[in-house]
Amino acid sequence: MSASHSLDRNDLLAEKRSAFDIPEGVIYLDGNSLGVLPGHVPARLAEVVAGEWGTSLIRAWNDHGWIDLPGRTGDRIARLIGAPKGSVVACDSTSVNVFKVLAAALSLRPDRKVILSDTGNFPTDLYVASGLKTLLDKGHELKVVAPEEVHDAIDETVAVLMLTQVDYRSGRLHDMADLTAVAHGAGALTVWDLAHSAGALPVDLAGAKADFAVGCGYKYLNGGPGAPAFLYVAPQHQERVTSPLTGWMGHAAPFAFDLDYRPETGIGRMTAGTPPVLSLSGLHAALDVFEDVDMADIRTKSISLSEFFIAEVEARCPQLELASPRDPNRRGSQVSFRFKEGYSVMQALISRGVIGDFRAPDIMRFGFTPLYLSHQDVADAVAILAEILETESWNRPEYRKRSKVT
């Protein structure tokens, strides 16, 4: 029996694969960019479009609970990230949510000026922080250090420590509980971006005493392209902050149409405008798949898949150099390898149905989504990768151009 076969026999999540529509001939190692389509979602969305919008029209806000959809979706996500009910809401994009929670966090530390982050943060978080700093014009400093320097850079000048838990390129995993404790010890607050964590590994926001968090709906949560993001505010901060984006959906009584803003009690105050109901319904429905899943099982399988992948690549593709931490406890659910011609190799892989992605200058990135990948998929993907590297088929002209989105 092959190694992959034996590993797949012990896979507690094996039957979850049938919950997804995976295109024929595709081994999808990019669920960390855009999750695949859960099989029941098309019918559910068709019902939202024709049944709810088309038939109930404006009455659907009440009759089909659209008005509570951001909170109901947030509560489903809360369970996956160790957050209490009523502390998470699904709304807007991750970028917009970073703006909201960072502004809220800074408002609680008016005498401090440093936003501390690292070079492993997803760029949009840094852009948003920089834009907010410019807008506020109060002398804030955005201090960006190397990931391994974060711990020592936390001091009493820091207002907010803002980090993405899993590095989008290398998969390096920050210790949320430890860094949050250090930040709190220095009197700072924390904003955690869970874009590559939520649905990929167990997160314990409450246990780690995280203050604020944001995350993405369309990666490991499989909510569909551009699905609304989510945000978390720790219960003890909820009544002490307001959103800087004071839209009507965050008003205590949006349909009273008062001229003055009065924030809703609780997490709802962090919403802004009318939610994109179709996209949000897709995310809400996609979360069905997680209902009976234990995040510990996800983590076990994630590590099994990624360890198997590293072993196979290192055995069969000696040209590649591991760019992720070797210790699985220090990685998220993705593995990256460096190769000078990584761009072309990735294009050749994609043309053979093995979909990963590439990040300049030389990172080939592979995401492992335990709900719909098997060890056999991993073995097959590495076999194709080895074949491409051996034959230099990646060296063909068609693989050497860069498309707009890589």
Q: Which stretch binds its own copies (CB under 8 A): 7-15, 44-52, 175-183, 316-324?
A: 44-52
170, 323 contact by CB (below 8 A)? yes
Q: Is 146 in the site for its own copies (CB under 8 A)?
A: no
- 288 is a catalytic site residue: no
Catalytic residue list contains 365: yes
CB 335 within 8 A of CB 359: no
Sorted by sequence, the CB contacts under 8 Å of residue 207 that are 6+ apart come out as: 82, 177
CB of 363 to its own copies, least distance (A): 10
- Find the length of the chain: 406
Q: Out of 219, 269, 301, 331, pick the active-site residue.
A: 219
- Distance between CA atoms of residues 356 and 360, nearest Å: 14
Cα 119 versus chain centre, distance? 17
Going by C-alpha positions, the residue among 125, 123, 176 that lies closest to residue 150 is 176
Single-letter code of the amino acid located at 10: N
Of residues 293-332, those binding its own copies (CB under 8 A): none
Instruction: Based on the residue annotation, tell me whether 193 is a catalytic residue of this protein.
Output: yes
Name the one range near its own copies by CB under 8 A: 174-182, 248-256, 338-346, 380-388.
248-256
49 binds its own copies (CB under 8 A): yes
Q: Which of residues 64-103 bind its own copies (CB under 8 A)?
A: 66-67, 92-96, 99, 103
Nearer to its own copies, 7 or 286 (CB): 286
Please tell me the number of Cα atoms within 13 Å of 328 on its side-chain side: 16
The pair of three-digit structure tokens given for residue 167, joined into one six-digit string = 């590095």
Is 104 a binder of its own copies (CB under 8 A)?
no
Classify 233 as helix, strand or coil.
Answer: strand
27 binds its own copies (CB under 8 A): no
Question: Does 1 sit near its own copies (CB under 8 A)?
Answer: no
Output the smallest distance, CB 141 to its own copies, in A: 15
When asked if residue 279 is in the footprint of its own copies (CB under 8 A), the reply is yes
Quote the least distance from Cβ 354 to its own copies, whole Å. 12
Examine residue 53 and tell whether it contacts its own copies (CB under 8 A).
Answer: yes
Binding mask 354-373 vs its own copies (x if CB under 8 A, - otherwise)?
A: -x-x-xx-------------
Across the strands, what pairs with 143?
116
Using the Cα atoms of residue 12, residue 380, residue 287 and residue 74 in order, give the sign of their dihedral.
positive
Name the segment binding its own copies (CB under 8 A); options: 5-13, 146-154, 196-204, 246-254.
Answer: 246-254
Which of 16, 30, 365, 372 does the annotation list as catalytic?
365
Q: Which of 276, 303, 376, 393 binds its own copies (CB under 8 A)?
A: 276
Residue 248 or residue 303: which is nearer to its own copies going by CB?
Answer: 248
Of 302, 397, 377, 277, give the one whose Cα is nearest residue 22: 377
| End-to-end Cα spacing for the chain | 37
For 275, the token pair is 């939610």
The SS3 call for residue 359 is: strand
Residue 116: its H or E element: strand 114-118
The answer to whether residue 45 forms part of the interface with its own copies (CB under 8 A) is yes
Annotate each residue in 199-238 with x if it binds its own copies (CB under 8 A) or - if it does not, as one string.
Answer: -------------------x-----xxxxxx---------
82 or 367, CB closer to its own copies?
367
d(CA 162, CA 142): 10
The H or E element that residue 190 is part of is: strand 189-193
Among 132, 182, 313, 378, binds its own copies (CB under 8 A): 132
Q: Which of 123, 236, 397, 401 binds its own copies (CB under 8 A)?
A: 123
Determine which one of 20, 218, 337, 366 is catalytic: 218
Instruction: Rule CB under 8 A: say whether 248 interacts with its own copies.
Output: yes
- State yes or no: residue 55 binds its own copies (CB under 8 A): yes
User: 236 Cβ partners below 8 Å, 6+ apart?
Assistant: none
Measured distance CA(119)–CA(106) in Å, rounded: 21
Minimum distance from CB of 167 to its own copies (Å)? Answer: 12
Q: Give CA–CA dist 350/367, Å, rounded.
A: 14
Q: Which residues are catalytic?
A: 122, 193, 218-219, 365
